[in-house]
Structure 1
């Protein structure tokens, strides 16, 4: 199997669904909470397969490390797990596996926005790739995050231990091989260190 064309999300090809308002889409997601749902910039609804147990374990360890950093810097902003959906400036609704939003941006949203798919693109996002996830799809998603305002994004391909780093103001991405290392939050999440060895 070509790793660039592994399993891709199921696109619900229904003209009505592509015309759903934000509120209708939110209600649709509430009615199908067992599904992993996103919506792309063309307003197509994407259904992803459930997370495999190994990926869930890795995501828990990722969130655990992010939480440990946040617990020391709660005033800096808010962290989110893979259940959080965000409405990007291009209209897509995406749910990164982990993300962080500065306090000023989060607090600028009203309670109604915070309670739905907040209209904000997190400055920091992480996506975890399992061996059945399409690398092509995830690389495009990371580029979409950056185009919509993400300053630092990590795509962690755990099975082949490859990291793809996306930074604002750059084209392409940096590729780092091997998980016998740590990643730094750079100027976006100052002081954050992710130990990749714990994601094995």
Structure 2
């Protein structure tokens, strides 16, 4: 005899899950932000220096695929002879000196700086700015993944000590290179097919043709 499926119990009116609304003037400390992230592991969040939450939207398929190929290339570059660098993906939040917590699409940190952190600091948001940050612009300029907001982030990385920043613009096949000590100024490469990072580590490079392809 076939078993009947279990009855579906309707949720009482008034108990439906509702979106979380936060007051626009809410300010969080980095410690409070960490608690919010732990309570909402499915959310992708960042924190500004003045304590405002930034809710990141999920990427589309093209951007997600490009992010994956970006990480693979960086990983291969390190395998070929750069054990002095450690790679991090977009799920890592870095606690920057100004108190903000930002998550670049990819980041490299010198191994000696990573080893200088305590085990507790490594488990939490690492309290440092990466040596290299990479951000990938989405097709739309709207929101936190658009070029306008990402240029602001590149400025923040520079101000907090990043030695090198790469802002990749797949729709234009262009790259903006941000260097430490040159806040607000970026070198732009048009129709770029290769990106050289030897100023940070010998042999570090990206094949951009692999990133641009859909």
- Normalized against structure 1, the TM-score is what? 0.88
1:77–1:101: 8 Å Cα contact kept in structure 2?
yes
| Cα distance in 2 for residues equivalent to 1:99 and 1:175 | 20
Corresponding residue to 2:118 among 93, 102, 110: 110
Over 3 Å counting, the alpha-carbon distance change for 1:196 and 1:118 in structure 2 is same
Output one character per residue of 1:76-115: Cα deviation in whole Å (capped at 9) or x when no partner: 0211011111000011100000011111110110011100
**Equivalent residue of 2:150, what SS?**
helix
Q: Please state which structure has a larger fraction of its residues in helix.
A: 1
How far the C-alpha of 1:12 sits from its partner, in A, is 5.0
1:12–1:44: 8 Å Cα contact kept in structure 2?
no
1:35 aligns with 2:43: yes
| Cα distance in 2 for residues equivalent to 1:75 and 1:186 | 14
Higher RCO, 1 vs 2 (CA within 8 Å, ≥6 residues apart): 1
**Equivalent residue of 1:165, what SS?**
strand
Over 3 Å counting, the alpha-carbon distance change for 1:21 and 1:159 in structure 2 is same
Pair member with larger Rg: 2
- Normalized against structure 2, the TM-score is what? 0.82
Alpha-carbon RMSD:
1.7
Over 3 Å counting, the alpha-carbon distance change for 1:12 and 1:99 in structure 2 is farther
Number of equivalences: 187
**Equivalent residue of 1:159, what SS?**
helix
Note the residue ranges of structure 2 that are not aligned, 5 or more in a row: 1-20
| Cα distance in 2 for residues equivalent to 1:12 and 1:54 | 31
| Cα distance in 1 for residues equivalent to 2:168 and 2:119 | 32
Note the residue ranges of structure 1 that are not aligned, 5 or more in a row: 1-10
Stretches of 4+ aligned residues off by more than 4 angstroms: none
Output one character per residue of 1:122-164: Cα deviation in whole Å (capped at 9) or x when no partner: 0101000011233221111001101110011000011122211
1:94 aligns with 2:102: yes
Q: Please state which structure has a larger fraction of its residues in strand.
A: 1
| Cα distance in 2 for residues equivalent to 1:146 and 1:176 | 19
